[in-house]
Structures are given as C-alpha cells and as structure tokens.
Amino acid sequence: MKRIGLGALAALLAAGMLLSGCGDKQVVDEARQAGRAADTFPAADEDYFKDMDGGYKLTQTEVIGRNNWIVWTAGNDRFWDVITDTAFGNFDLLKTISSHPSMAFGRHNRFNQLGLMNEPCFVEPTGPSEDQFGLWLDQRVKDGPNCPADPFANEKKYPGVKIGARGTTVPVGSFYGYPTGIMGLRLFPNPAFDEKAKKRWDPVRYYTDPSYYNDKTLVRPYRVGMACGFCHIGPSPTNPPADPENPKFENMSAVVGAQYFWIDRIFGWNYGKPGSPEREKNERNYLIQLVHTSRPGALDTSLVSTDYINNPRTMNAVYGLGARMKLAMERGQETLGGGELNNKFLPGDFNDATRQVQTPHVLKDGSDSVGVLGALNRVYINIGLFSEEWLRHFNALFGGVPNTAIQISVGRANSSYWQATEAQTPALAAYFLNKDIQKGHKLADAPGGASLIALDSAVLDRGKEVFAETCAGCHSSKQPPVPKDIDFATCNGPNYLACWDKYWSWVKSPEFKEKMKQIVKSPDFLDGNYLSTDMRVPVTLLQTNACSPLATNAIAGNIWDNFSSDSYKQLPSVGTIKIHDPFTGEEKDYVMPAGGRGYTRVPSLVSLWSTAPYLVNNSVGEFVNDPSVAGRLQSFNSSIRQMLWPERRAHDKFLGDKGVFLIDRTSVNSYLVVPGGFLPDFLKPLLSPLHRWLPSIFGDGDLMVGPIPKDTPVNLLSNTELYKDDATLAQNLPRYVELFQLLKKATHDLKQLPPNATDEEARKVFANLRAPLLSFSKCPDFEVNRGHYFGTSFTTETTALSDADKEALIQFLTTF
C-alpha cells in the first residue's frame, strides 16, 4: 500500500525516481489515442436501478446522475491495472471479484468478509468459465422481467474504446464495461491481452501459484474499473436485506456509504481463510498490518497520491445536499485564483467579480473548496480518471518525490474521458439534490423503528434542550441569526480563526442557547436540517486525532491544488496541540502548520442511528457486521455512549493507565515484503546482500525488511515523511541523506538478529530506531479514538452533562 514502512527503504525505492516527474511532454488518454471524442460517450439513461434508494421516482436527469454514480468508470480500469502491479501483488480487483475455492471469500460470503454489495441476478460460479478465460467470476442469470439484460453492457449503444488487442484477442465491449456481480465494479477487456499474453495465460496458476501471479509482467485478460458507487452503495437502513449476501435492488441505497467495507481484506486479497497458514503468513506482512488500521467503512483517500500520513476516514453518506447548499450561500464563500478558476460551477454558484464560489465542504478537512462540481470531478480523478496524466504527478503509493498539481486545463485539453465526466456531473448533482434521495433514513421509517423511539415526551423535550445547549452550535443548519460582527462572507481565509473564535463565543452564550431551544422544539426542526454547520473546527478545540487535519494533498502546489481554494490555502495555524509519546506516554506539544491544515469540517448527524461507529475513522464504538435495524442500533447504542462517556473508550494496552487512548499496534512480528517478481531491476543488485540475513519465511528471492516487532505503533512507520512539501528537491536532498543513514543503521542492527527472532529480541534492537523514526514523522499523533469531549468532564468548553441528560440526549438523537 502507501508509505510502506521503514522510511529509509522507501527513500531507496525513490532514489531511482528522483529524475522522474511531470515534465513538459503532453500525454493523452486511451480514448483520445483511439480517436474518440467526449461526445461519443453518451450518458446512460436507462432507469435500471429504479428500485434502489427507496424506489422514489427520479427525473430523467436524476436517472442519468445515478447511473453515472454506479456504472461510469471514466476509463479508470487502466489505472487499477497499474496499481495491481504497484502494490506488489497484494491488490488485485480481478481476484476480488472472483469466487475461486482457494480464496477466503466468494459471492456466498462477500458481504460478511468484504462488506461489498452483491448485484442481484447473479449466482456464484461452480467452476471456471470458458468464455471468460477460465476465471471464476459471477454468472448472470436470465429470468425474464425480474432479471433483464444489463443495459450498460450494450456494445451497440455504448461502444467501447477499440485500442490494442480489443477487437482481436479480446472483445471491444462497452465503455461502461460488463457487470461483475459486485455493485460499483465493471469488467473491461484488457487491450494488452494480445496473442503472446493469451498463450502465456494460465487461469489455474493465476489463482494458485505465487510465482506466476506475483510477476509484474503478467497480463490479465480483463481490467476492472471502479465507479464511485463502489465506496458508497450499501444496505438500506430502512429496508435492509433479509440476507445481506443476496440483496435486491430495493434493499440498497446508493448514497448511504459503504459502511461495512473491509479495505484490508479487499486490498489483501490473498489474506487467507481464518486459521490457515496463508493468513498467519500474511499477518506478518507489514502492508496488511497497515491496512488493518482502516476499520470497516473507512479508507485513506490519499492512498495513491501519498501524503505520508496513514489517515483512514469514513465513507460518508451523501445526505442533505440542498441544505448544505443553503449553508454554502451563508457561510461557504470561498475565493478562487489561478488554476482553481478552471473548475466548472453550478449556475449561480460563482461570482466573477469577487471570484467567490458557494462551497459545501465534503472532505473531512474541508479542503475541497471550489464548489459542488469541482468536488465531484475531483473524486473521479482520485479513482483513476486520466491516469495517464495523474500518475505523472507523484510516485504512486510510496512517494519519495514531490507531488505536483494536476491541472484542470491539461485534463480538459487531453482527455476525452475527462470532458465526458465534466459533462455528466451536473446530472449527478441533480440526483443528490432530489428531495427524497437527500432526506436520509429515519429510524421511524425502518421496520419496527417507531416503537424504539422514546414515547416519554418529557424525556424527549429534555433531550432537545440538551442538544440546543451542547450540540446545536455545530450540529444544526437551523440557528438564530448570527451577530452582525460575524461576517461569513469574509471569514474564509487568513481571518478564519478570529472569525471562528467570535462564532464559538456566540454559540456558548446564554442568548444563543435560549433562542436555540425554541428552534429545536419546533415541530419542523429536523425538516431540511443538515444537522451540521459545515464549518471548519480547529483541532485544538476538537482534540481529535490530528492526522486528518494534517493532510497536505490540497495545499498550494500539491496534487489537488486546482481543487482547493485560495482561501483554504491561506487558513492560519490553529496553534499547538497536545500529543502523547507512543512509548512512554509523555505529553508533548505539537505546533500545527498553517496553509489549510489544522481543521475538521463538522460532520452531519442525519441518520445518526444508522451510521455508527463514530469519529472520522470509525474508532469510537462497536462495529456490528449486521445491517439490520437491530444490528445498527446495537452499534449506535455502544458508540454514542462511548462518545458521551469517553472513559468507556478503548485505551492503549501499554499506556492506558496513563490516560492514553487506543494506539494501533502491529499484532505480530512483521516484515515489509516485496515479492521478487515485483522488484525493480535496478534494485536487485543493490539489495541482494541483504538477503543473507533476512528470514526466508516468504520464499527465496523476495525482499523483506524487518522484523518489525509485535506491538510497534503502525503509524510510527507509515507516517515517515520522505519529502517535505514546503521544500524544493535540492532542499530535500539532506533529508534523503539522513534517511539513507537511518537505513544503514537499521540494516546493521537488524543483521544482529537470528532468523525467526522472538518478539523480545526484535523489540530490543528496534528500540534504537524509535527516536529517529519519531523525528521523521509527519503526524506523530498516535491516539486514534480521542477527542470530541463536548458535554463531558473531559473539556471545559461545555457544561458536563449528568447521566440523565446524556440519556435524554440519546433518545432525541435516535429521531434524526
């Protein structure tokens, strides 16, 4: 995955990349290479998913938007094919969609094991498919009107891009691909699968022989494309499937978020069955230890364009866009300049005179700040749109070289897929703005849900008062008129912190609380309420983990420069936070940088009962792998009580008695493993001397760095900052020297260990590396579940609530 462990090793990998970069040479996408213009990729207009999202009637434009969300991959099957090789064999979507008997998952347990939604009208294969090159892929059933043909695979209406071997060794197909049996993933014939590749292809060895599939030169017959819905489609909270492995379209929501998504198992397709030797072996792969830190429903969106911070974040539901746009008109005025001005905007959103755009903030750090359409278009790039250009701006997954800004103007000029995507995103916005789609999922509308809401009006009234006094300053889009000295039109930018301080003082005032009580008690309080202010809150106030606020991909000159506003880039430093040493528990000061970092935008509480666990990384509360109403409420009741009683949250196994919250640590002695078939040729002679002291538990010819001792903080390695964002290459060269020296020291120390060293032996040697690795950390904050202490005794910012008041508040929250 990204940031692969010992920072020095990644620096060594980067050494061969130092002269690479974007350069001046222009590249075009596969569509343009094949002579396809954007208008040859028409939007799909069939209402095939009509039973999803509650079965509400959509307009034709909204149907196009939903289809875009679920099946449009914008040519990113090329990108995911590249990443398959870059990830050293750990990641392979063609394996993820398979049901081979040797694997730990298949269609029969795909939801339970991977958290992915099986598409209706498919069955699990009972053997290899001859017409799919011997692969074990889901097979489509035919059942008249109940299972009509997939309209998006229509090669006549949606002809694919004829390039390479397409049309000869493999079909051309549709530009929407073939359905895979998994919602959000589509199958495309691989244009590199020529006659030579076909002769070499062996489907049996592809599933069973590591020496065959762990070969970077292997060409697979298909590439897999990813639509946005892959990370956002989930079981409907109000109409859950009786059997999550066999849902119907009516049991799905395309906006709820993939809350049960296990990225560690999807990334590590070869993780192995429980108790198997494969699982034990793969647990010793540090990359698997790294992705274990992404709890179900969370992933790191800077996974590919690495920022050297392990930063898993929840895949949010897309609720209340209309209310968010109203907030944007009042509080989301972002000023643009330079390449940011090349974004597309919804009608009326952008003011040419002021260069301001009305912006709802979607990402956790509020960095995507160029309007709705810009935020949507950026998502498609992040999942592989115009990868021919995007991958020239960074060293995918591992870094070591500077990230440079991808230019909207270049994408628009050189990519037909880019232009076709921009043409469809207004329809996608219309889908999200549909009045029924955006209203969320209420417990009262779920089977038996109404009976689970408190009937005691006095308890609910007290819960409303507590919410008004303690929560509404951040979690309500309906509020009293703000004082005249708070001018949101000028807040965003260098003046933001001063503006926030005024706002925060106001919402803590008795005047605000009294007026807010009347608003909350109004019968229509929840109607059209986004239950967030969408504002950026300083992490100094939140006291939550600082890694998300420290993300750098959107700062000036970095990969998402064109998709973050000038006002974001001018945000001031929030000041100093407190962190704990992960080895001693000692409290330390850490100064947060400026330039956009240091803030978290307020999450919405819409459908709070169905979206637990909580915080940006799903670290607070119990994950229940059951999408039924009962399962969701079990998770809600555990999670909301940990939020309101922080002392109930998990604490660190070694430092918990010192008040240190949970630190993600490695579960076994682990190694950074690069199978020999993926090693760059230039590295092999450099690294061959290391093989003599590395254990051979992963086979001869593999590169292994370790052992990394059991109980090592995972982020000690993953957050190693290989390249400073605010420095030039020349200024960073001394850092490379230091990293090489650290590698030399690590090599010397680890050579002293015997093969299959014990945990204790490894810990003694690794102890000497703690301080240097901490000094290179880009985010030295290791506690993942701390913070957001409002209404508790852990903060003086709000009044600590009594247990009775907390329970009353919980009863009110169930109505959201």
Averaged over 682-705, what is the pLDDT? 51
CA distance 427 to 434: 11
Nearest to 319 by CA among 438, 434, 210, 399: 438
In a domain, 323, yes or no: no
In a domain, 347, yes or no: no
In a domain, 528, yes or no: yes
Q: What was the pLDDT predicted at 7?
A: 39
Does pLDDT of 16 surpass 50?
no
CA distance 162 to 740: 46
CA distance 589 to 575: 10
- Quick check: 508 and 473 in contact, CB under 8 A? yes
CA distance 678 to 14: 15
pLDDT one-digit tens code per residue, 135-182: 999 999 988 888 999 999 999 999 999 999 999 999 999 999 999 999
Positive or negative, the Cα torsion across 427, 433, 438, 439? negative
Burial 179-196 (b: 16+ CB within 10 A, else e): bbbbbbbbbbbbbbbeee
Nearest to 738 by CA among 32, 11, 180, 4: 11
In a domain, 120, yes or no: yes
- Quick check: 358 and 371 in contact, CB under 8 A? yes
In a domain, 272, yes or no: yes
Residues 6+ apart with CB under 8 A from 629: 237, 240, 443, 446, 447, 448, 449, 452
What amino acid occupies position 610?
S
Pairing of strands 536-538, 599-601: antiparallel
* Domain finish residue from 252, 273, 295: 295
The phi, psi pair for 289, rounded to 5°, reads -60, -40
Does pLDDT of 672 surpass 90?
no
Number of domains in the chain: 2
Three-state SS letters, 379-412: HHHHCCCCHHHHCCCCCCCCCCCCCCCCCHHHHH
Residues of the domain holding 588? 443-642+799-813
In a domain, 81, yes or no: yes
pLDDT-derived band at 679 (thresholds 50, 70, 90) equals low
Global confidence as pTM: 0.94
Does pLDDT of 698 surpass 60?
no
Average pLDDT, the chain: 92
Exposed, middle or buried by CB within 10 Å (0-12, 13-18, 19+), for 777? buried
Query: No. of H helices and E strands in the chain?
Result: 30, 18
Residues 6+ apart with CB under 8 A from 501: none
Q: What was the pLDDT predicted at 683?
A: 54
Q: What was the pLDDT predicted at 812?
A: 97
DSSP codes, 316-379? -----HHHHHHHHHHH-EEE--GGGGGS---TTSEETTTTEEE----STTS---S-HHHHHHHH
Pairing of strands 670-674, 313-314: unpaired
What amino acid occupies position 225?
G
Paired tokens of 395: 């060293």
CA distance 73 to 741: 43
pLDDT one-digit tens code per residue, 430-484: 999 999 999 999 999 999 999 888 779 999 999 999 999 999 999 999 999 999 9
For the chain, how long is the longest CA-to-CA vector?
77
Query: Strands across the sheet with 350-351, in order?
Result: 333-335, 356-358, 350-351
Does pLDDT of 20 surpass 60?
no
How far are the Cα atoms of 598, 607, 628 from residue 635, in angstroms, in the given order?
29, 13, 11
In a domain, 589, yes or no: yes
Q: What was the pLDDT predicted at 3?
A: 34
Averaged over 730-748, what is the pLDDT? 83
- Quick check: 288 and 89 in contact, CB under 8 A? no
pLDDT one-digit tens code per residue, 503-552: 999 999 999 999 999 999 999 999 999 999 999 999 999 999 999 999 99
Strand partners, 350: 357
Task: Provide, rounded to the nearest whole percent, the portion of the chain with pLDDT above 90.
Answer: 80
Exposed, middle or buried by CB within 10 Å (0-12, 13-18, 19+), for 659? middle
Residues 6+ apart with CB under 8 A from 693: 750, 751, 753
In this structure, what is the dihedral angle of CA atoms 259, 553, 606, 253, given to the nearest 10 degrees?
A: -40
pLDDT one-digit tens code per residue, 179-194: 999 999 999 999 999 9
DSSP codes, 640-699? HHHHHSGGGS-B-TTTGGGT-B-B-B-SS-EEEEE-GGGS-TTTHHHHGGGGGGS--TT-
pLDDT-derived band at 729 (thresholds 50, 70, 90) equals confident
How far are the Cα atoms of 481, 515, 532 from residue 507, in angstroms, in the given order?
11, 10, 14
CA distance 61 to 458: 45
Q: Could you give the count of Cα atoms lying within 13 Å of 597 in the half-sphere of its Cβ?
A: 24
Paired tokens of 521: 């008690």
CA distance 505 to 123: 58
- Quick check: 649 and 662 in contact, CB under 8 A? yes
In a domain, 189, yes or no: yes
